[in-house]
């Protein structure tokens, strides 16, 4: 995906991932969007490394799937870290 599209789609994916992970009310929209953008970048990079055809330079449904997976995984990691620091 192109950089600008990745930022926009990553923000939307972060919001959707926060709904799937049921953290949309616990965290602010800003953190969800940032996690989505970072997760989208990481997901597309990892998808490209595994030979799925996903990359930052092309837009594809596979790239969207990898971006969503990256956002969900990163959001889960953020939640684990935040819970651990509260206790």
Non-local CB neighbours of 61 within 8 Å, separated by 6+ positions: none
For residue 76, pLDDT over 70 is answered with yes
First to last CA, the chain: 39
Q: What is the pLDDT of residues 16-57, one digit of tens each?
A: 877 887 766 666 777 777 877 887 778 777 777 776 655 555
How far apart, in whole angstroms, are the C-alpha atoms of residue 54 and residue 34? Answer: 20
Confidence at 2, pLDDT banded by 50, 70, 90: low
How far apart, in whole angstroms, are the C-alpha atoms of residue 60 and residue 76? Answer: 24
Domain range list for the chain: 3-86
pTM score: 0.70
Residue 2 tokens, joined: 């192109």
């Amino acid at each position: 995906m192109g950089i600008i599209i990745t930022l926009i789609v990553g923000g939307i994916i972060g919001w959707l991932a926060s709904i799937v992970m049921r953290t949309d009310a616990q965290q602010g929209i800003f953190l969800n969007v940032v996690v989505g953008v970072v997760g989208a970048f990481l997901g597309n990079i990892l998808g490209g490394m595994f030979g799925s055809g996903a990359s930052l330079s092309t837009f594809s449904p596979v790239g969207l799937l990898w971006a969503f997976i990256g956002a969900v995984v990163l959001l889960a990691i953020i939640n684990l870290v935040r819970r651990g620091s509260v206790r």
